Amino acid sequence: MTIPSEPRGGRLDPGLGAIMSERRQLINLAYRLLGSLADAEDVVQETYARWYAMSRRQQDAIASPGAWLTKVAGRLCLNVLSSARVRRETYVGEWIPEPLPEPTEWITGRSDGFTGDPADRVTLDESVNMAFLVVLESMTPAERVAFILHDVFRYSFAEVAEIVGRTPAACRQLASSARRRIRATHAPAAPAARQARIVRDFKQAWEDGDIDALISLLDPDATAIADGGGVVGALLRPIEGAEQIVRSLVHLDGRLRDLTILERTVNGRPGLIAQHDAVTVSVYAFEVAGNRIKRIWAIRNPDKLRWWTAGLQH
């Protein structure tokens, strides 16, 4: 689960081009640490602001600007994670990480004039699928930072220690604890083709109102979680059990007639989106284990759908 990165050991020219070449690496790191591309972009912007607040002499004194940028971004993420735990206690309903589309599906022509470059955004792999990100949310900030830096980005524990502010031995323990959480809750993924088929069958059964088919596609102990953020309507608590989930879906039948359900890739795995008048109003991520859907995450908070819908101001 290693993310391709720029060489960290070489000396970079402190000019704009060389320094900004680290941006993709920093965005990839910050999104995995925070589960929010908006927060990740804020962290990276602040990281560069701190770099350019230094004098040229101070910049020249830094042997590896890339390593310096990573250290600053990592520490900022640690601070954000600590404050986010407090903020999410007051969040309305369930908090789900911000979903990401395939690079070819990024919406870049927004009304605020910003044009996003997918190449500067997030590399989609197993370390950003929704199931993985949700497990990361259960970790302490220090566990999450140590695990992502070491196990995903392959930083040494000595390097991690400088960012987390603990000893290398303590960081090793943090990463080990994080791995145990992953093993305890993260089910092996079904092959991609099977996931796509099951999600497609789910879409068809939902559109047809086929209750028996829906129940057969869900694990009996499946869980559905919705995130409206208090901005739009969404169930405030998870729904447990296949029959309860299907009952909830049936209640949405009237609303479904006004929606277009489309197959899309969500955080690197097969998913669905719901659109109303070409505006994406919901993104659905799935965890498929064996031949059944184990978890459904429905993201409806419009603040988390900015890359799925053209023309949004934010």
Q: Contact 202/217 with Cβ under 8 angstroms? A: yes
At the top level of CATH, the class of 192-304 is alpha beta
At the top level of CATH, the class of 16-96+130-185 is mainly alpha
Whole-structure pTM value: 0.85
For residue 221, the model assigns a pLDDT of 96
Rounded-to-integer distance, Cα 234 and Cα 251, Å? 13
Strands 279-289 and 239-240: unpaired
Q: Contact 189/196 with Cβ under 8 angstroms? A: no
For residue 313, the model assigns a pLDDT of 36
Q: What are the structure tokens assigned to 145, written together?
A: 């930072």
Q: What are the structure tokens assigned to 151, written together?
A: 């196990």
Instruction: Give 38's Cβ-side CA count (13 Å radius).
Output: 10
Could you tell me the residue ranges of all domains in the chain? 16-96+130-185, 192-304
For residue 251, the model assigns a pLDDT of 74
Q: Contact 245/293 with Cβ under 8 angstroms? A: no
Which portions of the chain are predicted below pLDDT 70?
A: 1-18, 86, 104-121, 124, 252-256, 310-314
Rounded-to-integer distance, Cα 212 and Cα 226, Å? 23
Note the helical H segments in the chain. 16-20, 23-34, 37-52, 56-60, 65-87, 130-137, 141-147, 157-164, 168-185, 192-208, 211-217, 242-251, 253-256
